[in-house]
């Protein structure tokens, strides 16, 4: 008795139907389970002498650029430390109260972000004055009233001018320069800077380029929160 013959097309369709479920399961389970593209890490990088194991391979660790610890006074004359909490994500910007150009708009955009994450325990917001000689805690208290009314985890900081400029340039990698042609003006960055709990820079968002950049920050904070929650879970 001869076996029935099957057209090649039917055989191929059958094989595909049998193979697809297994392939999809593998991709979802091994390759695609809760996967996302991590945010970049800015600044210099060095290869460490230590290693970690990934998929049975020995991978050299990387030493990333990090923001140093610092401590300044806020608008309430309280001493505020960075980092305040090793699990917190921080958004930082540089401004000054007499700024004639974009500072007000920048802080309005910062307020928009802060309001969205006001109830998230992982988030905090810091605005550092590049004009500490004029921006005393009392001046910052008055300036910050409309911003902190709805955003309790937002500190406006002031401190030693030389240290602030050094931190801006060497740690946050942005400009903070006294304008020599106009003493009333200070050249500084319009960036909102996203810092992860390991004190690494994970994003720059130009507040002077409209809402799209800040909308991107809002979305990428979600990515970083997800990353941190997974990290906490794995500890």
Whether the pLDDT of residue 193 is over 50: the answer is yes
Distance CA 192, CA 213 (A): 9
pLDDT more than 90, % of the chain: 66
- For the annotated binding site for Cu cation, the residues are 99, 103, 188
pLDDT at 28: 40
Would 106 be classed as within a structural domain?
yes
Angle at Cα 67 formed by Cα 211 and Cα 127, nearest 5°? 45
pLDDT at 181: 84
Burial class (CB within 10 angstroms; exposed 0-12, middle 13-18, buried 19+) of 102: middle
pLDDT at 17: 42
pLDDT more than 70, % of the chain: 83
Average pLDDT for residues 59-79, to the nearest whole number? 94
Distances (CA, A) of 218 to 4, 8, 90, 192, 234: 62, 53, 12, 11, 25
Residue bearing tokens 């049975």: 56
Ranges 53-57, 160-164, 185-189, 212-216: which has the least confidence: 53-57
Domain residues for 75? 67-234
Would 9 be classed as within a structural domain?
no
Would 124 be classed as within a structural domain?
yes
Residue scoring higher pLDDT (189 or 25): 189
- CATH code, domain carrying 176: 3.40.30.10
Tell me if 130 sits within 8 A of 188, measured CB to CB. yes
Would 151 be classed as within a structural domain?
yes
Distance CA 128, CA 148 (A): 14
Which tens digits make up the pLDDT trace of 116-175? 999 999 999 999 999 999 999 999 999 999 999 989 899 999 999 999 999 999 999 999
Tell me if 59 sits within 8 A of 47, measured CB to CB. no
pLDDT at 8: 64
Residue 135 structure tokens = 């921006």
Domain tally for the chain?
1
Distance CA 92, CA 155 (A): 10
Would 195 be classed as within a structural domain?
yes
Q: What is the three-class DSSP state of 10?
A: helix
pTM of the model: 0.81
HSE-up (13 A, CA, CB side) for residue 144: 28
- For the annotated binding site, the residues are 99, 103, 188
Ranges 55-59, 137-141, 177-181, 205-209: which has the least confidence: 55-59
Which tens digits make up the pLDDT trace of 72-108? 999 999 999 999 887 899 999 999 999 988 999 999 9
Residue scoring higher pLDDT (62 or 20): 62
């Amino acid at each position: 008795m001869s076996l029935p013959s099957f057209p090649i097309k039917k055989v191929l369709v059958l094989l595909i139907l049998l193979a697809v479920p297994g392939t999809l399961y593998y991709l979802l389970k091994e390759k695609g389970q809760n996967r996302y593209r991590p945010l970049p890490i800015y600044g210099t990088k060095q290869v460490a002498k230590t290693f970690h194991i990934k998929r049975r391979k020995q991978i050299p660790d990387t030493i990333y650029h990090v923001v140093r610890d610092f401590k300044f006074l806020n608008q309430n004359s309280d001493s505020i430390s960075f980092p305040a909490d090793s699990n917190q994500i921080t958004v930082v910007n540089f401004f000054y109260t007499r700024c004639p150009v974009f500072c007000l708009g920048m802080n309005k955009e910062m307020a928009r972000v802060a309001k969205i994450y006001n109830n998230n325990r992982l988030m905090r917001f810091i605005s550092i004055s590049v004009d500490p000689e004029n921006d005393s805690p009392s001046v910052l208290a008055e300036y910050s009233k409309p911003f902190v009314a709805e955003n309790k985890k937002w500190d406006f900081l002031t401190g030693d001018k030389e240290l602030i400029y050094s931190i801006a340039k060497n740690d946050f990698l942005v400009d903070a320069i006294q304008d020599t042609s106009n003493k009333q003006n200070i050249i500084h960055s319009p960036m909102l800077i996203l810092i992860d709990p390991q004190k690494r820079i994970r994003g720059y968002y130009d507040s002077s380029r409209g809402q799209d950049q800040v909308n991107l920050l809002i979305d990428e904070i979600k990515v970083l929160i997800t990353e941190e929650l997974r990290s906490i879970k794995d500890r």
